[in-house]
Structure 1
Amino acid sequence: MHELSRRAALRAGGGLVAATALLGAGVARAGTALAATGTVPGSQYFDLTQPSYDLFRGKMLHESHHVMQGFTFDNVNRRLFVVQAQNGTSGDDLCVNQLSFDGRLLGAMHLNGAGHGVSIGVEAVGSASYIWLECDSDSTGTDGRGTALARFKFVDGGTPSVKKFLTGSKTITCATDPINNRLLVRRSENGAFWFSLYSLADAAAGNFTRPLAHFPQPALTDHTVTFQGYAVYGQYLYTLDGTGHDDPADIDSYVTCVDMNTGTVKSRAFTKAGSTLVYREPEGMTIYRTVAGETRLFLGFGSRDGVDRYANIFYKNVLI
């Protein structure tokens, strides 16, 4: 996935810098010209310097020739959904996979002409899972991006019955906070990316007039950023950036934590999760809380073997 420009490698002493940048040089806060507004209740945040752990590696999805993109957990019904492009289509036709937590394929559903699938959300309604996903791609091919949000019930092998929201948007995606029942929307507004946070109940009812937060995506200037996904938990937004590499010495993946009330970067760290994967590329983020009550920040990475593509998912679990 290449939504923004390719990175310029950040090197020191001949190797990629692996140190953590915590509000350090080159990480820009939101400027005063782009005002952030937020009334999100305070919460803990993830310590991005802590290690990542495997959920699973090397799992093939329904569409064998396309890498994973965004993913999300239904925290009520304990389901995992992963989106990817469909085999043999123009590139903006998407497939939503349901997986077990050990990576076994349990079902799949197609949404054509949708976009790229950078990030998705899910809403539990009783025993059903309703997927939130971009739709109405602005062009065919891999460059297509959604212009509205779709909400539909996941039914293995079924045809989506779609309800659309925020039509006429530009490059729109979303993520859900399953712990606080909120929907975070990212879209281009006047040539820049902004995030808006809503109650999930309001969003499902089509009410987008009462955002809990509205803020521009902070500039990150420590290297050229390729945006690869995001997640939301409590007061904080988490973003993932980086590009694909065969050589573990070249990996350039970073996770950033943003305070949604101020729109400023709280922390940023290099991640080596899945560093030994073949052509490792960061793809998607989400939140999940286990049955035992542990809240986890998940990171996705695609990998490859010839023409086949694989999903790999890792998590961090230390809150401050």
Structure 2
Amino acid sequence: MTSHAPLTRRGLLKLGAGVAATTALAGGEPAAAAEGRFELTAPSTSLIWRKALYNTTVLQSFAIDNAHGHIYTVQVKNGSGSNAAGDLCLTKLSLSGSILGHMYLMGFGHGVQIGVEPSGSSAYLWTETDGVPIDGNSSRGTKLARFMFVNGQTLTTSSAALTKYSPVAGATNTTCTIDPSTNRLIMRYVSEGSFRFAAFTLSSVKAGSPDRLHDVAQPVGLGTFQGYAAYGNYVYVLTGTAYGDTNPAPGNTYITCLDLRTGEQVQRARSVAGQSLNYREPEGMGIQIVSGAPRLCLGLASEPGPRLASIFYKTELI
């Protein structure tokens, strides 16, 4: 007779997470989000370390294609004026950080956060688009865009390859991520002067009839916003700035967990992942699924010259 160890609460959480993630990766939308959330005080592990992107600027954000084993990163395009113009460079990487391709996105925004939707043998990217200049030296999107990754292609905001969406009418500073465990699109946006997070079924957004499941305010006072990721009923917010005279190591990088159902801040913890990096600026978050188990990933930019990208992850659920 085969003996089985008793299931602990943590084991049940991981089992439920694996079922939800596998269902979503197979193309379905789980009836309910997996229970449990990431323990933010747990140690972090390196996924990629000091890897070059296609351009030499700072990593802004990333998303992980769990179906095909790719990482997509976005950064401001090389060249004077690209920041204010909203011109971005999208890089496709292997899970070990090797460059596999790139695209240019002209006039899209700042790339604060992106999402990826695996499709067949390729993937669609979800980004901000129709960027408008703010404060004279940056750009922020006013719509969301969906487009297939095509190596070497340059897209403008009027390209036929784009499909544009406005899940929240009149929203500005629009960005999004996709929860691979639920196939939900999580959108961050500004309405009436305040940032909010809204969760939609991805299928309803693509159909043009967005089904808003949750909509909560982003707490104020978290620090400099640098990206977010969603898993189940929770959204994880990354904040902080680069090392400097007023921000010495180990830095001011924090991750804050918010309940998407209530807006409650349920945990907040400093991250010291990659604390030995030179410069070290937090940039972007994502969810990786490995053998059905989720990882909460955060990005870090480093180096004083051509910038390099690192990604770390946490695995412990509570």
Instruction: Identify whether the pair has TM-score above 0.5, normalized to the shorter chain.
Output: yes
Deviation at 1:100, TM superposition (A): 0.7
- Is this contact kept in 2: 1:240–1:253, CA < 8 A? yes
- Is this contact kept in 1: 2:250–2:275, CA < 8 A? no
1:282 paired to 2:282? yes
Cα distance in structure 2, aligned partners of 1:213 and 1:151: 22
Cα distance in structure 1, aligned partners of 2:33 and 2:276: 39
1:303 paired to 2:302? yes
Q: Which runs of 5 or more residues in structure 1 are unaligned?
A: 1-38
1:235 paired to 2:217? no
CA spacing shift, 1:171–1:270, aligned 2, 3 Å? same
Of 77, 94, 109, which residue of structure 1 is paired with 2:103? 109
Structure 1 residue aligned with 2:4: none
Structure 2 residue aligned with 1:132: 126
Task: Give a deviation string over 1:257-296, Cα, whole Å, max 9, x none.
Answer: 1111110101000110010100010000010101x22210
Q: Which runs of 5 or more residues in structure 2 are unaligned?
A: 1-30, 156-160
Structure 1 residue aligned with 2:163: 163
Alignment of 1:1-320 (within 5 A): 41=33, 43-64=35-56, 66-90=57-81, 91=83, 92-139=86-133, 142-160=137-155, 161-166=161-166, 168-208=170-210, 210-220=211-221, 225-246=223-244, 248-249=248-249, 251-290=251-290, 292-306=291-305, 308-320=306-318
Aligned residue identity for 2:231: Y
- Is this contact kept in 2: 1:244–1:279, CA < 8 A? yes
Task: Give a deviation string over 1:62-107, Cα, whole Å, max 9, x none.
Answer: 111x110110011222221000011014211001110011111110
- Is this contact kept in 2: 1:115–1:135, CA < 8 A? yes
Aligned residue identity for 2:63: T
Larger CA deviation: 123-132 vs 226-235: 123-132
Cα distance in structure 1, aligned partners of 2:62 and 2:80: 21
Deviation at 1:249, TM superposition (A): 2.9
Alignment partner of 2:107: what SS? coil
CA spacing shift, 1:156–1:242, aligned 2, 3 Å? same
CA spacing shift, 1:42–1:77, aligned 2, 3 Å? closer
Aligned residue identity for 1:298: C
Alignment partner of 1:238: what SS? strand
Question: TM-score, normalised on structure 2?
Answer: 0.83
Task: Give a deviation string over 1:113-167, Cα, whole Å, max 9, x none.
Answer: 1111010001112222000000111128642100111100001102341111117
Aligned residue identity for 1:77: H
Aligned residue identity for 1:58: R
- Is this contact kept in 1: 2:33–2:181, CA < 8 A? no
Task: Give a deviation string over 1:190-244, Cα, whole Å, max 9, x none.
Answer: 0000111011111122222x211011112346xxx10110000000000000010
Q: Relative contact order: is structure 1 or structure 2 higher (C-alpha 8 Å, sep ≥ 6)?
A: 1
Deviation beyond 4 Å, 4+ runs, structure 1: 39-42
Deviation at 1:248, TM superposition (A): 4.9
Cα distance in structure 1, aligned partners of 2:196 and 2:207: 22
- Is this contact kept in 1: 2:91–2:103, CA < 8 A? yes
Cα distance in structure 2, aligned partners of 1:48 and 1:95: 30
Cα distance in structure 2, aligned partners of 1:194 and 1:200: 18
Task: Give a deviation string over 1:19-68, Cα, whole Å, max 9, x none.
Answer: xxxxxxxxxxxxxxxxxxxx97462100001000101111111111x110
Alignment partner of 1:299: what SS? strand
Question: TM-score, normalised on structure 1?
Answer: 0.82
Paired residue total? 275
Cα distance in structure 1, aligned partners of 2:231 and 2:256: 13
Cα distance in structure 1, aligned partners of 2:193 and 2:204: 26
Cα distance in structure 2, aligned partners of 1:178 and 1:293: 11
CA spacing shift, 1:314–1:41, aligned 2, 3 Å? closer
* Identity of matched residues, %: 44
CA spacing shift, 1:40–1:266, aligned 2, 3 Å? farther
Deviation at 1:111, TM superposition (A): 0.7
Aligned residue identity for 1:130: Y
Cα distance in structure 2, aligned partners of 1:181 and 1:240: 21
Aligned residue identity for 1:69: Q
Aligned residue identity for 1:234: G
